Structure 1
Amino acid sequence: MPLPSLSVVIPAFNEEDNIEATLTNVFAQIDEIAEIVVVNNDSTDNTEAIVQGIQAREPKLRLVNEARAGVTFARNAGLNAATSEIVARLDADTLAQPGWARAIREYFATAPDSVGAATGPLLPFDSPFRKTFAKSNERLIARTRAASTDGLGVVGLAMAPGGNMAIRRSAWASVRAAISDRTDIHDDLDLSLCVRKCDYSIAFILGMQAETSARRFRTNPVAYWRYTNLLTRTYRAHEMAHEARATRIEVWNNRVVHLVTWLPTRAYNPESQRFSLGRMLSPEQDRITGRAYASSVN
């Protein structure tokens, strides 16, 4: 059975420190990928120049510019520009692991048309708690494998996190008119809810593994508190009052976990695998470059 074609979309705002590593990991799987679309979301650093330099030697790389600020606009521009049957999205600080692209193509080659989107395992690569996350991830994969009927994944997830997700182009065509352009809600949850409302299901693909930065957990508690409000607000935007109320426990659990792990995460240097006071106090640790973070939300 022929495998469906795959496009990869990477929204990027001021990602000069991350974009080359992200692209390098994707290029390692380029034989499985029809095109890579980087969406420059009005960056003010060297993101655009870096991508243009790489584009000169990689014909499958395309650069799209989106001036409207916000990850939703950047993501939409990328999904609209993509031409493949399946369109995957990676955050600009996320590293696709070996076999990632192949796993997506193999899963959708046999999945029913009712499966509209998918996600996969996602681990932080620069967290001092990486081993703890890895053990939890191993248990999740083991449970998924045991529940899988085809050995590739399972269907029935509530959402597909935007940092590592894929969607059928046909499903995107069905839901894009319903997508919100609000910047004070979670864009990935909004998309997932729209997918489900159009009677598509969301799958978890075992081989769709990626690693991402823990930089959000380095931001101060006040900023993170504001960020967690987006979860409840997204359900309210969809007039899902019961679900919005039910998220309160999850929101407070996330806040407590962040508060406990915040200082160690700030102080940790993943390169040396050591902790330092200087790194903990660095204002750079508060910098979130991705447009997914809305610092003005309260």
Structure 2
Amino acid sequence: MSLPSLTVVIPAFNEEDTIEATLAHVFAQADDVTEIIVIDNNSTDRTADLVRGLQSGQPALQLIREERPGVTFARNSGLDAATSEIIARLDADTLAQPGWARAVRTYFATAPDSVAAATGPLLPFDSPFRNAFAASNERLIAKTRAAAEDGLAVTGLTMAPGGNMALRKSAWLAIRQAISDRTDIHDDLDLSLCLRKSKFDIAFVLGMQAETSARRFRTNPAAYWRYTNLLTHTYKAHDMAREARATRLEVWNNRLVHLVTWLPTRAYDPATGRYSLRRVLAPEQDRIGGRVPAPSTT
């Protein structure tokens, strides 16, 4: 069976603490990756320098600078530049687990053309609630295996989270003009809604396993409140008033979970497994794009 080519796109803004580990996990799957594109979105730290330092030993690695601020612009630049049949996107704090790239290629090699995008299990590597997330993940995996005809994937998803997703280049080109560049909406949901409006399907693929940082849960409640508002704004931007109203329950549930887990997550040091007041008061934890513990590459 011939497998499609794969490009991995990684938007990055001030990711000096995580970008090397993220890339190391992709490099470990080099046999299944045609090109890797990191988009530097005006980083003021060493992100771009670290990527440039890796390029001499990794010919597939490219670095693009996108000066327009915002993950939407960075993501779009990477997707536009990709030349492979399948484009995967990872966040710069996300570690693709062994077999991830092969699972992407294998799935799209036989998936119907109507399936344009896919995502997979995503587990936080630095959360004190990792075991709870893992248990929820296992239930989702078991449910997927039971529902899938091949035991490997199910279709019909509403959204493909950008931290761990892949889509056909042909589908990206088909929806490119419909993609919004607004910064007050959720870019992952916008892309997913554009796919659905074009009659494309989204799949959940068990082999696309990745681990990511829980740093979103370390941001203060006001910042998280604004972030969750993006879901409702996106449905309204797509003239989907009923869906916008329906998502309010999800928004409030997410806010409640964040409120309950915020202080323990903020205080937790994944390097030591201990809690400290110093971490609770650290202002850098309110930034999504910086100063998180560097994960192990083993």
Match of 1:259 in 2: 259
Deviation digits for residues 93-125 of structure 1, max 9, x if unmatched? 000001100000110010000000010000111
Unaligned runs of 5+ in 1: 291-298
- Which stretches of structure 1, 4 residues or longer, exceed 6 Å deviation after superposition? none
Distance 2:66 2:165 in 1: 21
Per the TM alignment, residue 280 of structure 1 is displaced from its structure 2 partner at its CA by 1.4
Per the TM alignment, residue 42 of structure 1 is displaced from its structure 2 partner at its CA by 1.3
Per the TM alignment, residue 278 of structure 1 is displaced from its structure 2 partner at its CA by 1.3
Match of 2:74 in 1: 74
Per the TM alignment, residue 143 of structure 1 is displaced from its structure 2 partner at its CA by 0.4
Match of 1:182 in 2: 182
Distance 2:45 2:275 in 1: 29
Letter in 1 for 2:267: A
Per the TM alignment, residue 152 of structure 1 is displaced from its structure 2 partner at its CA by 2.0
SS at match of 2:128: coil
Q: CA RMSD in A?
A: 0.8
Deviation digits for residues 7-49 of structure 1, max 9, x if unmatched? 1000001111110000001101011100100011111111111
- Mean Cα deviation higher: 279-288 or 80-89: 279-288
SS at match of 1:189: helix
Match of 1:18 in 2: 18
Matched, 1:137 2:160: no
Superposition pairs of residues 268-279 of structure 1, within 5 angstroms: 268-279=268-279
Distance 1:121 1:227 in 2: 22
Superposition pairs of residues 76-95 of structure 1, within 5 angstroms: 76-95=76-95
SS at match of 1:272: coil
Match of 2:65 in 1: 65
Match of 2:294 in 1: none
Unaligned runs of 5+ in 2: 291-298
Distance 1:251 1:216 in 2: 15
SS at match of 1:39: strand
Per the TM alignment, residue 151 of structure 1 is displaced from its structure 2 partner at its CA by 2.4
Match of 1:3 in 2: 3
Distance 1:214 1:152 in 2: 26
Distance 2:221 2:175 in 1: 34
Distance 1:185 1:136 in 2: 28
Per the TM alignment, residue 56 of structure 1 is displaced from its structure 2 partner at its CA by 1.5
Letter in 2 for 1:116: A
Distance 2:287 2:189 in 1: 23
Distance 2:235 2:27 in 1: 36
Structure 2 length-normalised TM: 0.96
Distance 1:75 1:280 in 2: 31
- Paired residues, number: 290
Match of 1:281 in 2: 281
Match of 1:248 in 2: 248
SS at match of 1:72: helix
**What is the aligned-residue identity percentage?**
76
SS at match of 1:58: coil
